[in-house]
Amino acid sequence: MCHKKRSIVVGAILAITIGLFLPGLSVAGNIIVDNKISPAWNQEINSPVRFQFVLSGQGVLDKETGLAWEQSPMLVNFNWYDAQTHCNTLTKGNRMGWRLPTLQEIESLMDPSVPFPGPTLPPGHPFVIGGWVDFWSATTYSADTSQAWFVAVNGSGVVGPADKITIVLGAWCVRGGQGVDPQ
């Protein structure tokens, strides 16, 4: 092999090797963190390839965000504190480690182009969401810490604050990502 071709091959191998072991580098539109490939923040994946069943069919991996969601959240209403407890103690698909999603995480599933009455989820989504369900987020409302943000999934996809103790809403649990420490 000539010197020029050998240099190109060695350079390509070196680039791939560096990309696999240095955090923050991009490989084929994905970001590498802790030797794991995560979707790039600006990567759009359209249904039906966006979602994949995981955890014995009880979870759904969102390939756009790298988060695993409950495929079918319980249709039980909780105050915010009980919603936190429900997700934190949930075992689904023989896995623990569930939590209440942040406002931004649950909004990442919303498709604002879906007309009323919704659900405001991407076309072809695999989730089973019954009734007119509003879901808590783990995100506290900064203007009043006695409130937290919620998202109206069935209907309009609106977000708003609600009292953490007196209002009861659904809990749609998620695994993965960073989350936030609830207040």
| pTM, 2 dp | 0.73
Cα-based angle 92, 69, 146 (whole degrees, multiple of 5):
100
- The domain limits of the chain are 3-39, 51-175
Token representation of residue 103: 């406002």
CB 179, CB 96: distance < 8 Å: no
As a CATH number, domain 51-175 is 3.10.100
Give the list of residues 6+ apart from residue 169 with CB closer than 8 angstroms, or none.
77, 78, 80, 83, 133, 134, 135, 136, 150, 162
Q: Above 50 in pLDDT, residue 33? A: no
Strand partners of residue 140: 148
Q: Is the C-alpha dihedral spanning 94, 97, 103, 107 positive or negative?
A: negative
Amino acid at 4: K
Q: Above 70 in pLDDT, residue 136? A: yes
Three-state DSSP state, 69: strand
pLDDT at 133: 84
pLDDT, one tens digit per residue, over 59-71 is 999 998 999 999 9
